[in-house]
Structure 1
Amino acid sequence: MAWYVVKLILMLALLGGMIWGSLWLTKRLQGRFVPAGRTKAARLIETTMLSPGVKLAVIEFHGREILVGSSRHGLTRLAEAEARPPVEPEDA
């Protein structure tokens, strides 16, 4: 009986490790498999958490910056503007 419990604990630990590893690998490799010569049409610039379940996000899409509100009920476009050129960090 003790051997069964030990095997069960080891298998649960192995299964948990495999689940954690697959989630970590998926997160790490996400978005890396873009076909050669193609660029992504949309790019996430910034997100801000307003409250639990409510976020603001700025998305760049075809030369435009779109401010989107995200909640449990869906996405809402709040504003749109021309994309700003990237800011170069100043050398100290």
Structure 2
Amino acid sequence: MLWYLLKLAVVLPLIAGLAWASLKFARRMERRFSPTGGQRSVKIIETQWLGPGQRIAVLEFRGREILVSASRQGLVRLAEVPARAVSED
């Protein structure tokens, strides 16, 4: 019984570490080999929870800010305006 617990104490963290390292490696390779060169065309500017399973989000896409409602049923576009200029202070 003691031998089993000792093996478990050694192998379990080793497996968890390998899983974590493989996820980090996959994310790095995804950024490196993506067609956009690691830059995303859609940015999430802000999100706000409205209730269980419901929230609104402001997305930036190609110079536009889009307000969407996200729920279990899907996304609904609520409003769209030109993106705000970023001020550098």
TM over 0.5: yes
Residue of structure 1 equivalent to 2:63: 63
- CA deviation profile, 1:42-67 (whole Å, cap 9, x unmatched): 22222223334322211111221101
Identity %: 48
2:31, 2:38 within 8 Å by CA — same for their partners in 1?
no
Q: More deviation in 38-47 or 5-14?
A: 38-47
- CA deviation profile, 1:2-51 (whole Å, cap 9, x unmatched): 1122101221222233334545x36x749743557785322222222333
Residue of structure 2 equivalent to 1:3: 3
Question: Which amino acid is 1:7 matched to?
Answer: K
* Superposed displacement of residue 81, structure 1: 0.9
Question: Which amino acid is 1:77 matched to?
Answer: R
Are the structure 2 counterparts of residues 51 and 29 from structure 1 closer, same or farther at C-alpha, using a change threshold of 3 Å?
farther
| Structure 1 unaligned blocks of 5 or more | none
SS in structure 2 of the partner of residue 78 of structure 1: strand
Question: Which amino acid is 1:69 matched to?
Answer: S
Residue of structure 1 equivalent to 2:79: 79
Question: Which amino acid is 1:78 matched to?
Answer: L
Distance 2:79 2:36 in 1: 32
TM-score between both structures, scaled by the size of structure 1 = 0.65
Question: Which amino acid is 1:50 matched to?
Answer: L
Distance 2:19 2:88 in 1: 40
SS in structure 1 of the partner of residue 18 of structure 2: helix
Higher percent of residues as helix: 2
